[in-house]
């Protein structure tokens, strides 16, 4: 089957096209799933059955997002968010110098970058920190005239790059639980200590993308004054509120690390706010509903993305796609470029680099070995192909997470302000760096 006749290719093109045209991403994923399934020869019932069977895989993260939204609203009602923003804004002065504004903007972005990096390894909570940390800082970003597209690029960089090279936390899962065993299963065993070395050059491509984002979005951008859900009913900041908030945050973090459950951590954190009187019991239903509304779209996208991934798996078209592109190839440079582009297409639709590795490894490894790629070059190629699309996918948690925080006041579009900027600033440098790694390792 020709590359351009493969239904997976058309389904991903349709998904991206509909998303850019401002169709709801959930509906776009459903349309793309129908094209992928029925275009592969599945009937309507089988396609819908596969889609429905995959929905359960996203239910856990959807409920996690809903509870994190409620937790974020409870924090806002404590008065801490306004206090934090007011303190930073007060330090800016009435007429801050341009150099001072640039310094504070840079420091704020470095805080977001550090938090995103640590969320992958030191405190492995992944995107759970974003709905809690970012919304209180939106008023500060407004005062600083910070382009939120740059903030989205910074957060996405911190969510992706660490797992590519640091073998701890989520990096351990990506390198040692997914990439290494998948390569070994396909007949290419690589020592654990060498896997991060294989991914160093691709990670350098991500660094280049981050630098380009700082250059591209360095100019000020204006937003409306920020109004967050829950702030209209916030309690006056008091010592009690601070103590309750500290206990709630500590309890949420400790329980998540202990149980590996965002759901339990956010639930207990919200209940601490209620028990401490920051969110009165009679208003807890309203606060919870506000939080769920704030995060509901993100949750539904994650659920629909799992349904789409199930249809792609049931279609059986990914092996045919790889075969149609690589059949008869004798040139390693051309093969490396095509394999990276295929990985980009697969991950853009599925939305998860972790889920992409098992799909592509069994297909890529024999071809790479036949073309004479070294073990490290093969690992770099597979790892890069999987990571491609994690930035820039409408259904990736690496883009949905930043949007969840930056769009808390409704002024940050998921597609135009997160997906498109991260796609161009990270996928293009990563393709170049992944290709270079395959050539030189």
**Residue ranges of the domains in the chain?**
3-220+227-440
Across all residues in the chain, what is the average pLDDT? 84
Q: How many residues does the chain have?
A: 441
CA 230, CA 284: separation in Å to the nearest integer?
A: 11
pLDDT the model gives residue 366? 86
- Higher-confidence residue of 28 and 236: namely 28
Residue-level pLDDT at 389? 85
**Is the pLDDT at 202 greater than 60, yes or no?**
yes
Return d(Cα 46, Cα 315) in angstroms, integer: 10
C-alpha span between 270 and 132 (Å, rounded): 12
At 178 the pLDDT is: 86
**pLDDT tens-digit map of 87-130:** 666 666 555 667 777 888 888 999 899 989 988 877 666 777 78
Q: What is the mean pLDDT of residues 410-435?
A: 94
**What pLDDT score was predicted for residue 237?**
66
Cβ 60 vs Cβ 68: under 8 Å: no
Residue 119 Cα distances to 20, 86, 130, 168, 355, angstroms: 29, 26, 10, 11, 20
Reported as a single tens digit per residue, the pLDDT across 369-414 is: 888 899 999 999 999 999 998 888 888 889 988 998 899 888 999 9
For range 314-328, the mean pLDDT = 78
pLDDT band of residue 218 (cuts 50, 70, 90) is very high
How would you label 41-62 residue by residue, b for 16+ Cβ within 10 Å and e otherwise? ebeeebbbbbbeebbebbeebb
Given this model, what pLDDT does residue 58 score?
A: 67
CA distances from residue 342 to 64, 269, 276, 385 in whole angstroms, order as listed: 31, 42, 52, 7
What confidence score (pLDDT) does residue 154 get?
97
Which one has a higher pLDDT value, 277 or 1? 277
Question: Is residue 13 over pLDDT 90?
Answer: no
Quickly count: other Cβ atoms within 10 Å of residue 91's Cβ.
10
Q: What is the pLDDT of residue 345?
A: 84
What does the block give as tokens for 122?
């030191």
The pLDDT tens digits of the residues spanning 46-63 come to 888 988 888 876 677 677
Question: Would you say residue 233 has pLDDT above 60?
Answer: no
How large is the greatest C-alpha to C-alpha distance in the chain, in angstroms? 71
**pLDDT at residue 94, rounded to an integer:** 57
Structure-model confidence comparison of residues 379 and 82, the more confident one: 379
Weakest-pLDDT range from 219-228, 318-327, 358-367:
318-327
Residue 204: what pLDDT? Answer: 96
Torsion of CA 431, 36, 414, 168, to 10 degrees: -50
Per DSSP, 417 falls in state: I
On the question of pLDDT at 2 being above 60, the answer is: no
CB of 335 within 8 A of CB of 156?
Answer: no
The pLDDT value given to residue 329: 72
The C-alpha atoms of residue 337 and residue 381 are separated, in whole angstroms, by 9
Say what the pLDDT of residue 277 is.
79
* Per-residue model confidence (pLDDT) at position 165: 93
Per-residue pLDDT tens over the stretch 257-289 = 777 677 788 888 888 888 887 777 887 788 788
Q: What is the mean pLDDT of residues 198-206?
A: 95
Return d(Cα 189, Cα 222) in angstroms, integer. 52
Q: Are 366 and 353 in contact (CB under 8 A)?
A: no
CA distance 327 to 419: 32
pLDDT of residue 229: 58
């Amino acid at each position: 089957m020709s590359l351009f006749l493969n239904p997976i290719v058309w389904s991903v093109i349709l998904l991206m096209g509909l998303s850019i045209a401002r169709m709801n991403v959930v509906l776009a994923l459903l349309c793309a799933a129908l094209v992928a399934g029925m275009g592969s020869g599945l009937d309507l019932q089988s396609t819908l059955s596969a889609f429905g069977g995959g929905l359960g895989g996203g239910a856990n993260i959807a409920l996690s997002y809903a509870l994190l939204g409620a937790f974020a609203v409870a924090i806002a009602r404590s008065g801490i968010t306004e206090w934090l923003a007011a303190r930073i804004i007060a330090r800016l002065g009435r007429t801050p110098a341009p150099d001072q504004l640039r310094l504070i903007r840079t420091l704020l972005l470095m805080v977001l970058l550090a938090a995103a990096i640590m969320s992958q390894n030191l405190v492995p909570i992944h995107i759970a920190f974003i709905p809690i940390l970012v919304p209180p800082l939106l008023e500060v970003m407004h005062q600083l005239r910070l382009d939120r597209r740059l903030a989205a690029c910074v957060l996405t960089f911190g969510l992706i790059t660490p797992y590519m090279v640091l073998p701890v936390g989520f990096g351990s899962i990506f390198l040692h639980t997914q990439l290494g065993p998948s390569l070994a299963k396909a007949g290419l065993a690589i020592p654990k200590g060498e896997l991060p070395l294989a991914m160093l050059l691709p990670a350098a491509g991500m660094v280049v993308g981050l630098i380009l984002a700082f250059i591209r979005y360095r100019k000020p951008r204006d937003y409306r004054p920020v109004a967050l859900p829950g702030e209209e009913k916030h309690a006056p900041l008091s010592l009690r509120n601070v103590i309750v908030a500290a206990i709630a945050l500590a309890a949420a973090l400790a329980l998540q690390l202990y149980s590996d459950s965002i759901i339990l951590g956010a639930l207990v954190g919200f209940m601490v706010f209620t028990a401490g009187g920051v969110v009165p019991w009679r208003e807890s239903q309203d606060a919870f509903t506000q939080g769920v509304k704030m995060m509901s779209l993100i949750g539904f996208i994650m659920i629909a993305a799992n349904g789409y991934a199930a249809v792609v798996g049931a279609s059986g078209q990914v092996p045919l796609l790889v075969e149609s592109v690589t059949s008869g190839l004798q040139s390693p440079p051309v093969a490396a470029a095509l394999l990276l582009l295929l990985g980009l297409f697969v991950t853009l639709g599925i939305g998860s680099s972790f889920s992409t590795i098992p799909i592509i490894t069994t297909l890529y490894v024999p071809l790479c070995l036949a073309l004479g790629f070294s073990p490290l070059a093969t690992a770099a190629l597979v790892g890069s192909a999987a990571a491609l699309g994690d930035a820039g996918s409408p259904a990736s948690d690496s883009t949905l997470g930043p949007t969840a925080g930056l769009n808390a006041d409704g002024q940050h579009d998921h597609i135009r302000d997160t997906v498109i900027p991260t796609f161009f600033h990270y996928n293009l440098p990563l393709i170049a760096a992944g290709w270079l790694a395959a050539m030189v390792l």
